[in-house]
Structure 1
């Protein structure tokens, strides 16, 4: 069944941006309150870091197994189904009487929060080709806003309420969004696609092998989101050690990433007008400068501020540029290409979380920064070997 995508209104783009932000926020509530969770369950910081890793590994699993369903089923209904399951997982996390149940709930939160990554290729499918970068930039600015505000939201609530309350309030926010999306989310013009699910999954390795630019985006996203999580997974520990500050400060520092939010539409325009190769290079440069500042001047609060702004800017340059590349490759495989890219993206994030919390436990801040250098070195080698396209091939 062929279908012609409808024009996206500004209100619809705004709704899609808000939806991705609210949904993806579920992944990041744990980061500023890791210390509170560790105290509550009487577990080590390394153990709570492992739970945070499980959340992102669950998300990576959902990206691999659920997001490809967007190339088969009606995305309007698929997005809502995943949100219902996500609300259930958040409520289990709120109720969890033991660390084991909380770990299971955290994993399920990751798996069910992939609705945001069903929305991204859906927005790209509905967007006119010549404006795809700009529209993706707007939608992804909503995603980054959700990441940033979730850290601040969680950190501030954790300082005045029980950490469990973060999850029940998040469930309420997702329920409100679900009602709004049911009423206003655009219907999928494609309808049901007659494809075999197992064959769709089996096509993922072929898509990666046959598309050089998908390989480059997957590797770049893996490394640079890993670098982002290296900071955010250990910042609360560093602030407590260096300044004796609590989770609320870690949450407030997350607001510095507003720079990346403001730049996301501009980045999309740069991709449309100039070159994704240029913006991918800038993403690495900003991230490398950030960790150079963290390592040399991280003991100064001003150094942390400058570094966080640069790091979030680098993360957003990487995300918008890579999504524009990935969504320009093949309209009929847009969900599967996004699945491959975002699986790699969050696999890198989960490994960044794991190795950074391990490095913090054994080697402190120097160890954390050393892990970032490894990720950045791999990203640079990948950029030289798998160069991003100079111009995008527009799919109308």
Structure 2
């Protein structure tokens, strides 16, 4: 198996600003499919006459589906023509969203959610492009811009989903999302250049190489664990926020809950500039400070969690910490000397969304038994685990890498 440089046509190319912005915008539109459901869970539970915990499984299954898509589809970016792979995947996204729109039973929503998650992985085919085609000076900046688009999609989807749900019902949101994906399909068909693969082996060999990277790359292993813990922490709050705010003293609907995505967007936009901070103080300290901000955010959500200002500040800081560490995690493992960029990203992002699924699941359980206090305990614990791993292992791994 011989791997070659990533190329458009037969010539290695750089990354234009127009293409970076295109990938950022499309990343936000596609990844939003995974998060429209979060402010709509109470509406879904009411219509189908099921419990809040049963409706909450829709979010869990979407994240599990995303992890499966990352594992099974994203590595194909190293093996197949990238543009063709994206266009085929988009057709599957549209079909899954339409199924969600017209589903009448809870099990159908579960299956549709799993499929939406599994197929909405296109942003993770864009991030390796931004990493591999950027020079060293622009790598963090370009990754940060694509990630900013993705993160704004995650956060604003909650705001948009909540408003559409209140005005026209939760089904309308998924129908609108299907229409947006049709538009995205045509944009990609017209504007994205074809990108040649760099892996010549079989699909089995491709997947075995993913396992090998996960087994043998300590930098990737640590980044994956930190990312999983950070995203698990963030998922805990956004999955249960709608249930928290249905109760006194708030007693508000999906549109108000979804608007908290705007608060998170402030943190996400600030995190997009984290590449400059990394240049000034280094990778270790940038991740350290990001994780400390994440943990500190739970102080606001716990001690001032019955007030709007406490939740707003907590969510801004939470998103700033999570996304800041996320961008630098990716910059860190993309410096490894390999052409297997999609497979590196697969290992990291599968871990990331497994962490998110764990955070969602444990927060749902915590909500049942301990309400908001239990959710805060889950979120803070995830952040602390990421910090402990960083403090204990980061410098040790770097020193070992220098010696070898």
For the superposition of Structure 1 and Structure 2, which TM-score range results when normalised by the shorter chain? over 0.9
Q: Return the offset for 1:151.
A: 0.4
Deviations 1:281-309 (A, max 9, x none): 12211111111111111112211111011
Match of residue 220, structure 1, among 221, 226, 245: 226
Residues 1:284 and 2:287 aligned together: no
Match of residue 31, structure 1, among 28, 31, 38: 38
Residues 1:299 and 2:319 aligned together: no
Residue 215 (structure 2) aligns with: 209
Residue 54 (structure 1) aligns with: 61
Q: Return the offset for 1:322.
A: 0.9
TM-score normalized by structure 2? Answer: 0.93
Residue 86 (structure 2) aligns with: 79
Contact 1:134/1:272 (CA < 8 Å) preserved in 2?
no
Contact 2:295/2:384 (CA < 8 Å) preserved in 1?
no
Deviations 1:103-162 (A, max 9, x none): 100000000011111111122122223211110001100001100110001001111111
Residue 20 (structure 1) aligns with: 27
Deviations 1:82-106 (A, max 9, x none): 1111011000000101111111000
Residue 255 (structure 2) aligns with: 248
Write out aligned runs for 1:111-260 (5 A). Answer: 111-188=118-195, 190-191=196-197, 193-242=199-248, 243-260=250-267
Q: Return the offset for 1:191.
A: 4.1
Residues 1:264 and 2:276 aligned together: no
Distance 1:274 1:74 in 2: 38
Q: Return the offset for 1:335.
A: 0.5
Distance 1:357 1:207 in 2: 33
Cα distance, 1:151–1:257 mapped onto 2, change above 3 Å: same
Deviations 1:209-242 (A, max 9, x none): 2111101110001000000000000101111113
Contact 2:292/2:387 (CA < 8 Å) preserved in 1?
no
Structure 1 stretch displaced more, 356-365 or 326-335: 326-335
Q: Return the offset for 1:276.
A: 1.7
Q: Return the offset for 1:390.
A: 7.3
Distance 1:131 1:363 in 2: 46
Residue 370 (structure 1) aligns with: 377
What RMSD in Å do the two structures reach over aligned CA positions?
1.7
Match of residue 324, structure 1, among 319, 323, 331: 331
Distance 2:268 2:300 in 1: 21
Distance 1:275 1:70 in 2: 30
Q: Return the offset for 1:17.
A: 0.2
In the alignment, structure 2 segments of 5+ residues that lack a partner are none
In the alignment, structure 1 segments of 5+ residues that lack a partner are none
Deviations 1:244-269 (A, max 9, x none): 11111111111012223322331123
Contact 1:5/1:127 (CA < 8 Å) preserved in 2?
no
TM-score normalized by structure 1? Answer: 0.95
Distance 2:393 2:352 in 1: 16
Distance 2:272 2:345 in 1: 19
Write out aligned runs for 1:369-388 (5 A). Answer: 369-387=376-394
Q: State the secondary structure of the residue aligned to 1:287.
A: helix
Q: Return the offset for 1:273.
A: 4.7
Match of residue 360, structure 1, among 346, 354, 367: 367
